Amino acid sequence: MRTEPEPPAATACGLLAVGDGHEIFWEESGAADGVPVVYLHGGPGSPLTPGYRRSVPTDRSRLLGLSQRGAGRSAPSAGSPGEVDLSANTTAHLVADLERLREHRGIEAWIVQGVSWGSTLALAYAQAHPERVLGVLLFAVTSTSRREVDWITEGVGALYPEAWDAFARLAEDHGGYDRHDRSPERLRLVESYRRMITSGDRDLEDAAVRVWMTWEDAHIGIGGGGPSGPHAGAAGDPVTEYERGVARLVTHYWAHDGFVADWAAPWGAAPGSGLLGGMDRLAGIPGALIHGRRDVSGPALTAWELHRAWPGSELMIIEDEGHGGPAMVEEWRRSLARMVDAATASDRYPDPHA
């Protein structure tokens, strides 16, 4: 079995005040005079783990990572006990945070890479600020459309009926969900969980958090080796701040379809077209989309549609992997190295070793 080397050490880190009472944690590694690259983690709410630092050419890239609002080492934590105000935690806020971080670190433009939910955030940022983007690399591609959210919370239950039955049953018993209601006005399962997880009833909140996290572990299992390990703690253990934070943030974002349903509308796309409607803003920006064929949580259709709407992008489907895996990671490293080399050759960031 292959053993991965230790990731490069961070060379700088800090907390950046971004408004609304939030501070985001950031860190840097790699070459101080290299091509800037920013990494966006998944979730929403997943931690910033050091393994992401292995996938960059450290001799010629300057890598930044950050914990998004409410996640990881950023403050306040979305998993803090008691009521947490998430009104200032939306995709627009996260995009603005990225711009503040870019300016804070004196960066003109950077390569933007995102994993899972991070790929949604990467697309949203790139569409809002294409002049600041040297390239976009998406891994386990999502755009957090309503179709994707309804699939990952309800449709994929056709593949995991036993696990989904337990997942839906709690919402039926305590959250007002009706699995037989197919009307346009129906209460969505994700909204039922959002309400339970923010109900103020600590016992119900903890029960909903634990069932939600167990469901996530179930549907992400095919073609394993994804960007993070199991989410749920052992049955009977107290719910952790991490679990509570992830469940709060995921249900908050997914119940609002990633806050991107009308994202492209200010730039002339049809209202409701989401990130797919704004892909023309990325014309001429190098793009790589890496996705696993066995990713049943996020079928390859989304990656395919984004690729078709993005002239010049490259789509790589890895046939025998799911929501991540070693072949996908190797493709990630190769694609990122090509983007760094292309940025260096563009004279915007000349090779410091030449």
The stretch 82-106 carries a mean pLDDT of 95
- The answer to whether residues 127 and 268 touch, using CB atoms and an 8 Å cutoff, is no
| pLDDT tens digits along 138-165 | 999 999 999 999 999 999 999 999 999 9
Identify the CATH number of the domain defined by range 12-146+259-345: 3.40.50.1820
pLDDT band at 1 (very low <50, low <70, confident <90, very high): very low
What per-residue confidence (pLDDT) applies to 226?
46
Residues known to be catalytic = 116, 295, 323
| Span 176-192, pLDDT tens digits | 999 999 898 999 999 99
Closest CA to 129 of 24, 282, 283: 282
β-strand partners of 61: 35
pTM above 0.85, yes or no: yes
Helices (H) and strands (E) in the chain, counts: 9, 8
Give the C-alpha separation, 206 to 196, whole Å.
9
pLDDT of residue 81: 84
pLDDT value of residue 169: 97
Percent of the chain with pLDDT over 70: 93
Q: How far apart are CA 11 and CA 21, in angstroms?
A: 26
Query: Buried b vs exposed e over 110-133: b needs ≥16 C-beta within 10 Å?
Result: bbbbbbbbbbbbbbbbbbbbbebb
Whether residue 311 is predicted with pLDDT greater than 80 in this model: the reply is yes
Confidence of residue 257 (pLDDT cuts 50, 70, 90): very high
Domain locations in the chain?
A: 12-146+259-345, 149-258
Instruction: Return mean pLDDT, the chain.
Output: 92
Q: In the chain, pLDDT over 90 holds for what percent of residues?
A: 82
